[in-house]
Structure 1
Amino acid sequence: MAALQSLDPNTPLFAQFQERTGPVVLANTFVVPKERAEAFLALFRRQAEFMKAQPGFVSLRMHKGTAGSRLLMNVAVWESTEALATAVGNPEFQRMAAEFPDDIVSYPHVFERIDA
């Protein structure tokens, strides 16, 4: 399973799920060894298809770092933190998440939009 790390150590992902708000954006940055990139993306696409069918899902985009970067970033919009937390807690999603190799690091964080 990929190692989960917090971008903000004061606000771990599961604490963010307790905040009842929405819509929200899940920005998840992955550090993926170059030799695992294709296998990672194949598994991620399976997960994405599952998530797209979950209640409260709005949209999803995957991005890759430039200049040979090992970073990939998923940006997913959900109607609420509750919908996102329910989808992430689904046993089928957990089974797929366990398939990611241990040398992949994931930095998920939930955001809500503000006016700039």
Structure 2
Amino acid sequence: MIELKDFDNSAPFLAQLRSPDDGQPVTLINSFLAPEGEIDKVIEVWRQDSLIMKARPGFVSAQLYRGTGDSRTLTNVAVWETLTALREAFSCEEFQSTLALYPDGSVSQPVVMRTAAVPGVCVA
């Protein structure tokens, strides 16, 4: 089973999911650390749970990134139309049941983000 850890203790992931929704898009950035020798299994379970999420209302896109070399790190970047859509998808029983399929020792650090404008670099 996967263990969820907070990246930022001042804004725990589950508290972020319960935040008021302003109707704007959100991005879930979720970094995983696979147990040694289990990265292919983590990718397969991620594929299964992503197919569930992809079918949910409000899903926009997802991309999985894999660390180079011998890294056991994976990062999922998933865009949702609204925080409510992400919250409902994350809470659905079908998705929740996949969390037990991850190999023991798997760790996940999800965080909900929004784009930020930085003058001369990027727009929000």
Range of TM-score over shorter length: over 0.9
Amino acid at match of 2:12: P
Question: Runs in 1 of length 4+ with deviation above 3 angstroms?
Answer: none
* Structure 2 residues not aligned, in runs of 5+: 119-124
1:97, CA displacement in angstroms? 1.2
Q: 1:62 aligns with which of 37, 59, 64?
A: 64
1:101, CA displacement in angstroms? 2.2
Quick one: distance in 1 between partners of 2:63 and 2:95? 18
Amino acid at match of 1:2: I
Quick one: distance in 2 between partners of 1:33 and 1:99? 13
Tell me the SS of whatever aligns to 1:73.
strand
Partner of 1:90: 92
Amino acid at match of 1:13: F
Quick one: distance in 2 between partners of 1:102 and 1:80? 31
Amino acid at match of 2:26: V
Partner of 1:48: 50
Tell me the SS of whatever aligns to 1:35.
coil
Identity %: 39
Tell me the SS of whatever aligns to 2:31.
strand
1:68, CA displacement in angstroms? 1.5
* Comparing 41-50 and 103-112, the one that deviates more: 41-50
Partner of 2:28: 26
Give TM-score, length-normalised by structure 1: 0.95
1:18, CA displacement in angstroms? 2.1
Quick one: distance in 2 between partners of 1:26 and 1:90? 16
Quick one: distance in 2 between partners of 1:39 and 1:70? 12
Give TM-score, length-normalised by structure 2: 0.89
Q: 2:38 aligns with which of 18, 36, 39?
A: 36
Quick one: distance in 1 between partners of 2:45 and 2:17? 24
